[in-house]
Amino acid sequence: MKDFMKRLVQVVVTILILVGLSYLFREGDPEKEVKPSKTSTNSLEIYYFDVGNADSTLIRYQDYNVLIDAGNTVDGVKLVPYLKELGIDHFDTVIATHAHEDHIGGMSRVVYNFPITHFYMPNHSSTWKSYDNLMKALEKQNVTLETPSIDQTFDLGDLHFTILWIGDSEDYNENSIVLKLNFLNTSYLFMADATGDVERQILEKDLSCDVIKIGHHGSKYSSVAPFLETVQPKYAVISVGKDNEYHYPHQVVLDKLEYLHVEVYRTDIHHTIHLTSNGEDITFDFIETDLNG
C-alpha cells in the first residue's frame, strides 16, 4: 500500500511538471492572465493603434470586440498583452483585410491568444511567412477562415457593419476588405490599403461618414479626389510610421484633406488614437503606447 501511494505521488508530480512545462512553452505570454472584459459601457470606443507603418484597429462596444488587422509580426508581441490589459478576452469578429505582413504579421499571435467567433479574410493566398503562420494558427485553434462578399452585413448590438469591398486580385492591396460601421447617428469607414481603383468602384455606395481611416497609410495612389469629396468626412485617421521609407502620408493627400476641412489625426504624431462616441458626439484622446515593434 505504501509503495502504491509512493507511485501515485510520483505519477501526480510527473503530470504536474508536464502540464507546467506545456504552459511555459505555449505561444504567447503565459504570465499575463486573461482578465474579464471591463464593465460594459454604452459608448463605442475605437483604438487606432500606433503600430508604425502598419495597421491595427480595435472596435469595442459593451461586450462586443472587433479587431481589424494586427500590425507587423514584431508588433503582435506588444499588441496581444496590450489587448489583454484593455480587458479584451475574446473577439466576436476579426478581420484580416489582406495578406500583407504589415496587416497580418501579428495576427497568428492574436489567434493563439483569444477565442474568435468569426474570422474574415480575402480568399487569396500569399507567400509571406506571416500568412503561413496565420493559416497554421487558424487550423490549430479550429477557427474557420470566412470570405465575406461585397454588401454582406453583420450586426453586434447597435453596431451595424457592411463590407463595402473585397477583391480577388494579384494585387493584394486591391483585395483589401473595406468596412463601414454605423453606430446610431455616427458612421466610420475603414479603408485598409484600398487603392484609388477600389475607391472609384465603390463610389455608388453610401460612403458618407464622420471618421475615415485613410487608405494605404496616406499613399497618393489612394484617397482620390472624387472619393474624398463623396465621403465628406469630419475626421481622418492615418496609420503611419515615423520617418517611413515610403514618405507616407503623401503631401497631396494631406492637401486634399485640408482643402475639405477634415481634421487629421496620425499615429506617427498622436500615437494610439482613441475615439469615443455615444452615437451622437465623437471625441478623441491620444495614448502614448509602445506597440510599434
Q: Least distance from C-beta 100 to Zn ion, angstroms?
A: 5
**Interface with Zn ion, residue 69, by CB under 5 A:** no
* Span near Zn ion by CB under 5 A; candidates 4-12, 42-50, 144-152, 190-198: 190-198
- DSSP code for 215: G
Nearest residue (CB) to Zn ion, 180 versus 216: 216
**Interface with Zn ion, residue 92, by CB under 5 A:** no
All residues at 6 or more sequence positions from 123 whose CB lies less than 8 Å from its CB, including other chains: 145, 147, 168
- DSSP code for 113: H
251 vs 184: CA distance, rounded Å: 34
Nearest residue (CB) to Zn ion, 71 versus 92: 71
| Strand 91-95 to 64-68 pairing | parallel
Per CB under 5 A, the list member of 69, 102, 174, 199 interacting with Zn ion is 102
* Span near Zn ion by CB under 5 A; candidates 32-40, 147-155, 192-200, 260-268: 192-200
Per-residue cell: 177: 476588405
**Interface with Zn ion, residue 193, by CB under 5 A:** yes
Q: Least distance from C-beta 238 to Zn ion, angstroms?
A: 12
Nearest residue (CB) to Zn ion, 134 versus 282: 134
Strands (E), 18-152: 44-48, 57-61, 64-68, 91-95, 116-120, 145-146
Interface residue list for Zn ion (CB under 5 A): 102, 193
